[in-house]
Amino acid sequence: MDKRKIKIVTIGGGSSYTPELIEGFINRKDQLNIGEIWLVDIEEGKEKLEIVGEMAKRMVKAANLDWQVHLTLDRRQALKDATYVTTQFRVGLLDARIRDERIPLKFGLIGQETNGAGGMMKAFRTIPVILDIIKDMEELCPNAWLVNFTNPSGMITEAAINYGGWSKTIGLCNVPIGFMSMSKAVMGLPEEDDSLFFKFAGLNHFHWHRVWDKNGKELTDQIIDEVYKPENKEKYKGMKNVRDLPMNYEQVKDTHLLPCSYHRYYYITDDMLQDELNEFAEHKTRAEVVKQTEKELFELYKDPKLDYKPEQLTKRGGTHYSDAACEIIASLENDKKTMMVVSIKNNGAVADLPYDSIVEISALITSHGPEAVNWGKFDPSIRGILQNQKAMEELTIEAAVTGDYGRALQAFTVNPLVRSGKLAKEVLNQMLLSNKDYLPQFTDAINKLEKEGETYNPQEYGIK
């Protein structure tokens, strides 16, 4: 019997990541009987969609595949009878990310895409959109899987499942992939080696993991020594998105767990903040650098001879996201039972977090969905900050859905990267005002601020 033809829809199809997504599908052409790929974007992203969409068509043609690649600004047309929907959109485009980073930094706070005030504001903008997408999916493709790698991935996934009711949602992040690669490098193994066993648990951009070899010997402490001892600080480079400042070796060693790169924002906050303030002064925040990188990428993508993913895409940060999404789809479609790190419902796998909350955890991807590998409990040194972070996520999601100013202020206050009191309120107010075009749920709160004389001046933050 012939395998069914599948229809894949990518919302945010004009993203610079799309060539990696297409490459991932091409590499799995024998596993995925693709009939159609629809790349969807909005009017503001039309030019990028056309550029990257034409490149996607060239890539498919160069691979001698008969897949139909469609470009559209009509989301509903694309979603009709979709088998899989992937989301990689950015509400407000990179200009919104620049605000997310520069406004907190002006107040002397961490300015980062998914952590601190910036991460919460990104969630405020994005969650209503993912819920609107789900409403369309309920009508147009009620059996489709939703694979989300729009950041902040964990919170967007939790909103989709717990507020949108879309149980067939899987959240994705590239950070664990980078740590797996680093562990292989530490152990002198090639990238393609699959002899190590990894076990991850926590939240998106806030997880820990352990590693074993094929003989059952745990390697976690050995890798900690190799990566985090002060004398080894130049040996292993981490992510593009997070500066590799030295972490406290004694603190990491005490946990006997390997931390996520993003823990630097919580474990060595002052060092990370000073580094970001230097970039702020030079107009070299990560968002400003990425905006320039994207500009260069799209100039490359315009080349009518380019029919493969260029190496320069790795400078963008977030590399491997798209390929991982392709592997999730291949594993769902073929019951491959690939072990991956995904954001899914906890269901008791992490004993320290609410049963219905979304966790980032190692799981087998089966045809009926992900099956988590049980983690159990964390040490108190981790349990406390993990539970605090989950409380912040829950408050942020609720505020994003309801537009409740009080809930938003509670989220800002609970977040350890936003100091409580008057400062939290000032930062929240400025970020709400600066994002008023993307926060319809906060209309009443923003109108009240404006009536009270609150104003937002982008020049104060060095924003053009």
| Helix ranges restricted to H, 229-379 | 249-255, 264-267, 269-281, 286-301, 321-334
Could you give the CA distance from residue 90 to residue 96 in angstroms, rounded to a whole number? 9
Reading the block at residue 395, the tokens are 């408050």
Could you give the CA distance from residue 428 to residue 59 in angstroms, rounded to a whole number? 44
**Can you say whether residue 308 is alpha, beta or left, with left for phi > 0 and alpha for psi between -120 and 50 degrees?**
beta
Q: What 3-state class would DSSP assign to 244?
A: coil
Amino acid at 165: G
Could you give the CA distance from residue 206 to residue 157 in angstroms, rounded to a whole number? 15
Q: What 3-state class would DSSP assign to 254?
A: helix
Residue with tokens 């949602």: 169
68, 36 Cβ separation under 8 angstroms:
yes
Helix (H) or strand (E) holding 104: helix 93-106
Those residues with Cβ within 8 angstroms of residue 154's Cβ, 6 or more apart along the chain or in another chain: 171, 173, 203, 204, 205, 206, 343, 358, 359, 360, 393
3-state class percentages of the chain: helix first, strand second, coil last, to nearest 5: 50, 15, 35
**Catalytic-role residue among 17, 84, 262, 461:** 262
Q: What 3-state class would DSSP assign to 198?
A: strand
Q: Which of 259, 282, 104 has the alpha carbon at shortest distance from 178?
A: 259
User: Catalytic: 456?
Assistant: no
Those residues with Cβ within 8 angstroms of residue 142's Cβ, 6 or more apart along the chain or in another chain: none
- Residues involved in catalysis: 262
